[in-house]
Chains A and B, each alone.
Chain A
Amino acid sequence: MTNTDTSMDDARALDGPFYIGGTKFLSRLIVGTGKYESNQIMVDAIRASGAEMVTVAVRRVDLDRSKDEAILHHLDPHEFFLLANTAGCYTADDAVRYARLARAAGFNEFVKLEVIGDERTLLPDVQATLEAAKTLADEGFKVMAYTNDDLITALRLEDVGCVAVMPLASPIGSGLGVVNPYFIREIKSRLKVPVIVDAGVGTASDACVTMEQGVDGVLMNTALASADDPVRMSHAMKHAVVAGRLAYLAGRMPSSEIAVPSSPIEGMLD
């Protein structure tokens, strides 16, 4: 038997790079850096995921030094593309303030804009998100906006200058997977900028199904950090994202509710 195992490099050759705000990426998996048990597991998991772009949050320095929180002590900004988020912000003004602080750190102009509207569901406040997106895009930020799976909001976010629109699969940290694949597909088909599904993926099959909708990428954090074995799950996600992407590009067979034999019906013995 011939070994036809396709390496990750071969898989990437069948897909090709994609661009967000003019920057080229090979991996369609973007990962967060929160909630890991240790910084070492976080770094190992991120390496295993193959992600190039990683999200970070902006917070006060802990002046009591009770924890070694500074992510830059653990993640080399030359190895990973840092995408600062505005997580935890509930108003457009706060999100703009956090984005400006993040940009002042001096790595890039990108920001993952997140303006939350509700504590229980962590669903986005789309009106405040649009307002902040416009302000930031006008200031030259490359805004990647977290939003719900609403087409109209996605179109508006593109209109105000976002470089990527990031509808949720399901609520942040829920692990419920893609609850509305139809809307995700519709958003993807209507936008020119990349569509990254952000939040809600729970396991590898969710990531695969997400990518099968034809979106440009997927962003996740909890699915990796809260797995029993984050490094192993990161490997799984890397493969799932590639699998889903290639399946989308390959074009699936039509589904049928009745069986269709795979072997010839002619030539059977009497």
Chain B
Amino acid sequence: MTPETSIDIQLNGKRQSFGAGHTVTTLLEALELHPGMVVVELNREILDRENYDAIKVVQDDMIELVHFVGGG
């Protein structure tokens, strides 16, 4: 079996393809998001920012990227 060159993940409710081998850090970089400005939920678990480098993004991961917006 050849290594996968791309993966499909569920990102903020949408199916999207990315190159294989991303960590959370590189995924945020690819999306041009500052890690300090967002919170990452991976498969319903909130990630610690310190672990972004170590966590690999794999096929079928469900990722939610949230931040603060205006609200009452």
B71 contacts A56, CB within 8 Å? yes
8 Å CB interface, A219-241 against B = 219-222
A72 contacts B37, CB within 8 Å? yes
Size category of the A interface is: 35 or more
Given A60-B13, A61-B12, A61-B33, is A82 in contact with B68 using a C-beta cutoff of 8 Å? yes
Distance in angstroms between the alpha carbons of A106 and B33 in the assembled complex: 17
The yes or no answer to A176 lying at the interface (CB within 8 A) is no
The yes or no answer to A167 lying at the interface (CB within 8 A) is no
Residue numbers of B with Cβ under 8 A of A are 11-14, 31, 33, 36-39, 41, 44, 46, 49, 64-72
Residues of B within 8 A of A87 (CB): 71-72
A105 contacts B39, CB within 8 Å? yes
Given A60-B13, A60-B64, is A69 in contact with B70 using a C-beta cutoff of 8 Å? yes
Complex: chain A residue closest to B40, CB-CB = A104
The yes or no answer to A156 lying at the interface (CB within 8 A) is no
- 5 additional contacts (CB under 8 A) given A33-B70, A42-B70: A55-B71, A58-B66, A60-B12, A61-B38, A87-B72
8 Å CB interface, A1-53 against B = 32-36, 42
A71 contacts B70, CB within 8 Å? yes
